[in-house]
Structure 1
Amino acid sequence: MVANSNLYNLTGYEEFKDDPNLKVDLTELVVEVMPEHNHIKIGSSEPLLAKWKPVMTEVGACYTINSIAVLDVSVTKSDRNETRIPMSCKYSTQSCYWILECNNFIDYYIHSPYDVANIMLPPSSTYPSLNRFSELTTMETQAGPGVRELSPRTRHCLYTSEPTRETRRVYSTNICRQDCRGRLALKLCGCQPFYYFYDDGPPCTPAGMWCLAKNSHRLATFDSVKCICNQQCLDSVFREVSKEEQIWDRGPFQSRGAMRLTVRPPRARYSRYIVFHLQDLIVSFGGAAGLFLGASFISFVEITYFILEGILRYRRDDTKVLVLKRREPYENRIKELDIIIREHQTNRVY
């Protein structure tokens, strides 16, 4: 029951809400019953370098691949270098595709490699004997040179390496929304759902999870609480444009389910560029001055130079020098007076 629950379907906790002896770490319980991913086979049009990473989402413990926003939600210790660059695909005569095969029922959440799964969107499900063909389109958002050096307030977006909280290691739009829901859950029920094991606050017991079940609609809509999340400077949003399902009731594929994901080349791409640099301002100012005043930028520099030179020269000419005469020592003055008196007395005798 715990492993199959999600943030918006917690009604199963009602029968355990009044059990005082049920004090268990729900996060550890979900991780312990988490199945292995070895039975999932992957094929792709490009060499596969990414690895499956166990993460905690709002639908419980899952495995993710090709995502660089898992440092906070990973249930195992992750290195930033392991998921630094997402996989890419070069469009040529062959299309970009992924094939996933499994002999169990699986829900696949397809999301941006710069974000975590959004459970508000429906998953793509497969089960044994079902072959599912999905065609996806993507809308990419990129940033041009020099954009990263600008402040977030100026560029109106955040990179994955710019978390908004000290307890976070990465930033993404859905992680920001999870933070808002976590604060709301703490306000409504006094605890955090075990899905947010990385967040501050006491984890919910079964009684706390039942409290969240009664307020699931408020968590889904943020209960009119203002949740401001910045856009991501780098992003790639996938949407399913067509799908086809086939049932294999005989043969080797009867016991396995498969899903083939094909990605169309993007027809449009959003990019942030700096359209007006400081040097552009200088050039524009000089051009306007030359057009209306008949002067160039160097003319203003020369005018400023001559004004400063005149001010400094005026201050230098206005300075008066006070010359003080040297005063003889007192003893020398006494001797001179004594000689004068003696000479005067001698003249009187003769």
Structure 2
Amino acid sequence: MLQLIAGLLPNRGGPQQQRRSIFWTACVLVGAAFALDLSLTTWYRYQENPTVISMERDYKEWNTSFPSVTVCPTVKVEDDQLQAFIDDNVSSSHSDVYGTNDLILSMTEVGFCYSYNSQVAIYNQPEYWKSGKFKIVEQPPSLTGSPLDGDMFAQLMGMSSGYTLYIHGPFETFDIATKKLSSEFMNYKTLELSGLSIYSTQEARSLSIKQRKCRFLDESNLVLSPAYSYKMCRTECRMKLAYKLCGCIPHFYKPQKHYKVCDATGIHCLGKHNELLIKLRDPSKDYEKVPCPCLPSCDDISYVVESETTMNWFLGTLLKWGLVKYPRLRLKRDIIFGFTDLLVAIGGTAGLFLGCSVLSFIEFFYFFTLNLICINWKKS
């Protein structure tokens, strides 16, 4: 490389030598142009498409997360507690109407709801908000199962009202646009589910968020939660849009220092933009999407209702759900074009068009920087 550069430097040879220098200079410049163009293409691929999503079929080797549910009672007032509040003029605590310690009470876009087998519902708890904490909370692992375990079911009994039901993964929640199921009081609902999961390898974690186009649970950029999920991100978009439209946010979002909670006037304003806030699409602009830069979660699972039955049940309101069909494949996000591949590709391109390697570029840098500095320093 240094010999080539030296040959291109001005010289005092005759016309033939000058023509030769011009010819080789042109060849080097053309080669450099092609090498630069292909190298930029390779760099773009590394930045934009370094991952691949493939399918795995060795289903006996992995466990599938048991579906999480969020149950929202249709009757949110308990008569006994309301009467006690009226009689004593003292605020009573909100008890668990379901009689179980496995449901986490959280505030959602549809009011107070109860989540089972969830790893993120805790970040929507008013108690968590009041604590002033903003870090990921260590929790017991979520339930999982495999084909060797057979069918898995969970059951909620003794519910005091009808309810609306949302199904999601343990590391996800729901929002107001999520598909819902419902049941009346004194009904017994049974749901049989199947799931499809996607996970990302640790090698994919080494890439930047922009490169892999997804976020892990601990890579939150949200103000509502230290744990990231796609639905929580969409919820934050609604909160910011509500503030932009009406100058306030609904009371069911985590209190923020710079966001005023809506009063009656603000609630009326939000009602006028109801469809826009729910769908995040502007009906006045042919349902154009509202900017909401939410990336999917790197690890996620979606569930499909295979069977749903509802019957009258004189013993109370019950819900039973579970996995009856374990997935025989899952999706894996992994690196297909890493940094090593980038160096090999650029080095091969430089060798093809310039007859040099990456080491030659280092020599080129040294020749025109450190070497010149040393020469000038010696002369001085």
TM-score, structure 1 length as denominator? 0.64
Correspondent of 2:115 among 64, 76, 83: 64
Q: Considering Cα pairs closer than 8 Å and 6+ residues apart, tell me whether 1 or 2 has the greater RCO.
A: 2
- Aligned partner of 1:209 among 267, 274, 286: 267
Given the superposition, is the C-alpha separation of residues 126 and 257 from structure 1 closer, same or farther in structure 2, using an over 3 Å criterion? farther
Report the equivalent of 2:319: 258
2:164 to 101, 104, 107: 107
3-state SS of paired residue (1:147): helix
Separation in structure 2 between the aligned mates of residue 304 and residue 186 of structure 1, nearest angstrom: 53
**Structure 2 residue matching 1:194: 3-state secondary structure:** coil
What are the ranges of 5 or more consecutive residues in structure 2 without an aligned counterpart?
A: 1-72, 77-90, 283-289
Other-structure match for 2:44? none
Partner of 2:312: 247
> Which residue does the alignment assign to 1:194?
251
Indicate the residue corresponding to 1:39 in structure 2.
99
**CA 1:5 to 1:129, structure 2 compared with 1: closer, same or farther past 3 Å?**
closer
Q: Which of 1 and 2 has greater Rg?
A: 1
- 1:74 aligns to 2:121 (yes or no): no
In structure 2, which of residues 185, 192, 195 is the aligned counterpart of residue 135 of structure 1? 192
Higher share in strand: 2
Identity %: 25
Q: How does 1:166-177 map to 2 (within 5 A)?
A: 168-177=225-234
2:301 aligned with 1:236 = yes
Distance 1:183 1:258, change over 3 A: closer
Change in 2 beyond 3 A, CA 1:198/1:289: same
What's the secondary structure of 2:156's corresponding residue?
Answer: strand
Which one-letter code corresponds to 1:272 in the other structure?
A: R
| 1:157 positional shift | 0.5
Tell me which of 135, 144, 166 is aligned to 1:88: 144
Letter in 1 for 2:247: G
Q: Which residue matches 1:16? A: none
Are 1:98 and 2:154 an aligned pair? yes
Cα distance per residue 1:247-282 (max 9 Å; x no partner): 334xxxx33423233352123322110112334456
Distance 1:124 1:136, change over 3 A: same
Q: Tell me the CA shift for residue 153 of structure 1.
A: 0.6
Q: Does 2:120 correspond to 1:120? A: no
Q: Deviations over 1:191-249 (max 9, x none)?
A: 11011133441111233223222321121232532222111111111221321223334
Match of 1:274 in 2: 335
Q: Secondary structure at the match of 2:202?
A: coil
CA distance in 2, matches of 1:202, 1:214: 18
Question: How far apart are 1:287 and its partner, in Å?
Answer: 8.4
Give the helix-richer structure, 1 or 2.
2
Structure-2-length-normalised TM-score: 0.60
* Aligned counterpart in structure 1 of residue 235 of structure 2, from 150, 155, 178: 178
Displacement of 1:124 in angstroms is 3.0
Is the 1:197–1:203 Cα contact (8 Å) retained in structure 2? no
Q: Conserved in 2, the CA contact under 8 Å of 1:73 and 1:198? A: no
For 2:349 and 2:171, how far apart are their aligned partners in 1? 44
Question: Following TM superposition, by how much is the alpha carbon of 1:86 offset from its aligned partner in structure 2, in angstroms?
Answer: 2.9
Q: CA deviation at 1:173?
A: 1.2
Correspondence 1:227 to 2:292: yes
- Number of residues of Structure 1 aligned to a counterpart in Structure 2: 278
| 8 Å contact from structure 1 (residues 134, 243) kept in 2 | yes
Question: Partners in 2 of 1:93 and 1:166 — Cα distance?
Answer: 39
CA contact (8 A) 2:98 2:158 kept: no
SS at the partner of 2:304? strand
Which structure 1 residue ranges, 5 or more long, are not aligned? Answer: 7-30, 42-50, 322-350
Asked whether the 8 Å contact 2:196–2:329 carries over to 1, the reply is yes
Q: Secondary structure at the match of 1:110?
A: strand
Counterpart position of 2:104: 53
Distance 2:293 2:268 in 1: 28
CA distance in 1, matches of 2:298, 2:321: 29
Q: Structure 1 pair 296/55, CA: closer, same or farther in 2 (3 Å)?
A: same
* In 2, Cα distance between equivalents of 1:166 and 1:248: 43
Q: Does the 8 A contact of 2:222 with 2:236 survive in 1?
A: no
